[in-house]
A = this chain, B = another copy of it.
């Protein structure tokens, strides 16, 4: 099952795995499904019996607000991200998961994951950790939405996505593919589409980054990070015993 390789790599970024643990993960039943741009992979209000992992593409957690079609994207997920471990214990989805680009996604039954947490508590903790990192990212976003200027907020997001992409080998020389629509960008920043567009133009005008098609290129990471008041601690990209 090469499909779980991204997961193994993702967990190993945070802590060492024993050979046994790696085997356990490789033995996970993995049902691969493809989703095309715009498709919903997990529905708000549903009670999933499997959790899913993004193997390639870009997925978003989406929450619908009010009855006028407003929505907020509360997380973005790339290859190696366990998008939906939350439903393992939360049972009822409080949000939906949508493909923003074509995605390959692997589904694994809840009972097998629970089994892993029982048999190897350390692996269980690493899964737990993965959801804790999601939560840390959510806090960072919350602070961004609430307290940063729209330009700084966008810059912050770009710094984060670059480092996350870079960590899984998806980034080039200060550049990465970010196939997100300005409408969707607005939904993640808590801005209208029009303002998302203007914010993006403002950031381009500073010369700190280029954004052509879906390719984002950072001119100077340190200056961009300074502009965004970005501190990567919350991404937990370093390896520690957990």
Minimal beta-carbon separation of A74 from chain B (angstroms): 5
Q: Which residue of B lies closest to A74 (CB)?
A: B139
Set of chain B residues within 8 Å of A148, measured between Cβ atoms: 65-66
* Residues A90 and B136 in contact, CB atoms below 8 Å apart: yes
Set of chain B residues within 8 Å of A134, measured between Cβ atoms: 135
Q: Is A95 an interface residue (CB 8 A)?
A: yes
Q: Is A23 an interface residue (CB 8 A)?
A: no
Given contact pairs A129-B90, A145-B145, A63 touches B139 in the complex (Cβ within 8 A): yes
Specify how many copies of this chain sit in the oligomer. 2
Binds B, one of A35-43, A117-125, A172-180: A117-125
* Residues A139 and B89 in contact, CB atoms below 8 Å apart: no
CA distance A129 to B118 in the complex (A): 15
Q: Mark A226-242, 1 if CB is under 8 A from B, else 0.
A: 00010001101000101
CA distance A206 to B95 in the complex (A): 30
Set of chain B residues within 8 Å of A229, measured between Cβ atoms: 65-67
* Residues A132 and B86 in contact, CB atoms below 8 Å apart: yes
CA distance A139 to B65 in the complex (A): 12
Given contact pairs A90-B132, A94-B234, A135-B86, A72 touches B143 in the complex (Cβ within 8 A): yes
Given contact pairs A74-B142, A124-B117, A142-B138, A147 touches B89 in the complex (Cβ within 8 A): no
Given contact pairs A89-B242, A125-B89, A133-B90, A45 touches B139 in the complex (Cβ within 8 A): no
CA distance A39 to B177 in the complex (A): 44
A74, A138, A143: residue with the most chain B Cβ atoms closer than 10 Å: A143
* Residues A136 and B233 in contact, CB atoms below 8 Å apart: no
Minimal beta-carbon separation of A27 from chain B (angstroms): 19
A89, A95, A124, A131: residue with the most chain B Cβ atoms closer than 10 Å: A89
A131, A133, A147: residue with the most chain B Cβ atoms closer than 10 Å: A147
CA distance A118 to B90 in the complex (A): 21
A-B pairs, 3 with minimum CB distance: A146-B190, A72-B143, A94-B234
A contacts, CB < 8 Å to B: 45, 61, 63, 65-67, 70-72, 74-75, 86, 89-92, 94-95, 114, 117-118, 121, 124-125, 128-129, 131-136, 138-148, 152, 189-190, 229, 233-234, 236, 240, 242
